[in-house]
């Protein structure tokens, strides 16, 4: 990029079949499906359809410390990472969010450079942008939150512009589940709805979250969140419990151990990319979600086979995200870089029988 995306510091149909599928309590065990069984070379070049994608979530300024460096006021937030990752598959991606007058122009330029439509972005000129600060340990799965200032995000009330209301694929960042439903009330007949959540909403707004889950097609959450929501220590059982709450598709992220995809008929275990250099895991989960919805929108194919591919594309974008601080890892990727890493994912679980 020609200019930094940091503002300071050191640069380093809700009634669809999915929503109403229910898993019987005595559903038999489903075997894991290894990666090599479905990822063919030809699958990478699926025909384009380009459904419209709407992303609703936070835009933030993050100050991050890891054992490998630090950055201050890096452009971040769930909507930023999701939109940036999805933009490698569909164009434009539409964003609804709110920032203060202190949000750097370089951050807006970054998103506009990825052909992200910002008509739905509210700018409160006399307000301050949502800020978060955290410190990661050598085990990057552990972090300490040092600062959370909601600022203008505290009063965020998503207003969906008229031209966004017919968006076919909707991705809801981990905002208040009441706001997530308020967004869905403004969307006309969406094709596929993906939702993220977090421990805070599971604990503080459990009933509201479960009401939202009745209206979505896919839920993305991490392993600790899945156990908390389902009260099940086993992740496969946890996924099945969550499916009975509403979403036909459940994706459980397991960090450096990959991800689980659960549908009515199967469990798919996706590997994690073996990273040697991880600088900042902050946006990995949202980058995963962006890659996932971007591929589904690009192909207009919600089949189980294509859901698997979407999980791998999500993992691919997440692996690029963690290689640099903030959204820098998603700034200048090429088609060949993405496809090469996708193929490397395929090789991770491929082997000869003899």
Whichever domain contains 22, its CATH number is: 3.40.1190.20
**1 assigned to some structural domain:** no
pLDDT at position 50, please? 64
Q: Could you write out the DSSP letters of every residue in 236-294?
A: HHHHHHHHTTS-SEEEEE-GGG-EEEE-SS-EEEEPPP--S-----TTHHHHHHHHHHH
Helix, strand or coil, per DSSP, at residue 107: helix
pLDDT at position 277, please? 83
pLDDT at position 291, please? 98
Helix, strand or coil, per DSSP, at residue 233: coil
Q: Are 95 and 164 in contact (CB under 8 A)?
A: no
pLDDT at position 96, please? 98
pLDDT at position 323, please? 94
pLDDT at position 151, please? 97
Token pair of 17, please? 């079949």
**33 assigned to some structural domain:** yes
**104 assigned to some structural domain:** yes
pLDDT at position 229, please? 98
**313 assigned to some structural domain:** yes
pLDDT at position 256, please? 84
Write the DSSP symbol of residue 89.
T
**353 assigned to some structural domain:** no
pLDDT at position 252, please? 98
pLDDT, tens digit only, all 354 positions of the chain: 333 344 444 444 444 433 333 332 333 333 333 443 344 333 343 344 468 999 999 999 999 999 999 999 999 999 999 999 999 999 989 999 999 999 999 999 999 999 999 999 999 999 999 999 999 998 888 899 999 999 999 999 999 999 999 999 999 999 999 999 999 999 999 999 999 999 999 999 999 999 999 999 999 999 999 999 999 999 999 999 999 999 999 999 998 889 999 999 999 999 989 888 889 999 999 999 999 999 999 999 999 999 999 999 999 999 999 999 999 999 999 999 999 999 999 888 777 777
pLDDT at position 104, please? 97
11-27 per-residue burial string, b: 16 or more CB within 10 A, e: under 16: ebbbebebbebebeeee
| Boundaries of domain holding 312 | 6-348
pLDDT at position 22, please? 34
pLDDT at position 285, please? 96
Tally Cβ neighbours within 10 Å of residue 188. 11
CB proximity list for 328: less than 8 A, separation 6 or greater: 1, 5, 11, 12
**354 assigned to some structural domain:** no
- Name the domain count of the chain: 1
């Amino acid at each position: 990029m020609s200019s930094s995306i940091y503002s300071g510091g050191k640069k380093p149909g809700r009634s669809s079949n999915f929503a109403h599928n229910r898993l019987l309590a005595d559903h038999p065990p489903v075997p894991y499906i290894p990666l090599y069984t479905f990822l063919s070379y030809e699958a990478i070049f699926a025909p384009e359809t380009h459904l419209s994608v709407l992303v609703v979530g936070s835009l933030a300024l993050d100050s991050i410390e890891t054992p490998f460096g630090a950055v201050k006021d890096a452009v971040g937030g769930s909507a930023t990472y999701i939109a940036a990752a999805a933009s490698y598959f569909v164009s434009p991606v539409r964003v609804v969010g709110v920032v203060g007058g202190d949000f750097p122009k370089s951050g807006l330029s970054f998103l506009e450079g990825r052909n992200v439509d910002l008509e739905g972005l509210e700018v409160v000129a006399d307000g301050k942008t949502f800020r978060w600060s955290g410190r990661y340990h050598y085990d990057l799965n552990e972090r300490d939150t040092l600062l959370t200032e909601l600022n203008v995000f505290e009063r965020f009330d998503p207003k969906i512009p008229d031209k966004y209301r017919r968006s076919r694929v909707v991705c809801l960042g981990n905002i208040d589940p009441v706001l997530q439903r308020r967004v869905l009330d403004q969307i006309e007949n969406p094709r596929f709805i993906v939702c993220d959540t977090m421990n805070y909403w599971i604990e503080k707004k459990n009933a509201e979250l479960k009401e939202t889950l009745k209206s979505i097609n896919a839920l993305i959450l991490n392993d600790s969140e899945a156990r908390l929501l389902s009260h099940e220590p086993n992740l496969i059982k946890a996924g099945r419990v969550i499916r009975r709450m509403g979403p036909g598709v459940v994706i459980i992220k397991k960090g450096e151990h990959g991800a689980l995809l659960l549908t009515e008929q199967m469990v798919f275990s996706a590997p994690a990319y073996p990273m040697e250099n991880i600088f900042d895991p902050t946006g990995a989960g949202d980058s995963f979600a962006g890659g996932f919805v971007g591929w589904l929108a690009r192909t207009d194919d919600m089949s189980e086979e294509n859901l698997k591919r979407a999980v791998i594309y999500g993992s691919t974008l997440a692996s690029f995200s963690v290689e640099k601080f903030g959204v820098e890892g998603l700034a200048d990727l090429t088609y060949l870089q993405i496809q090469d890493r996708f193929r490397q994912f395929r090789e991770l679980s491929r082997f000869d029988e003899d």
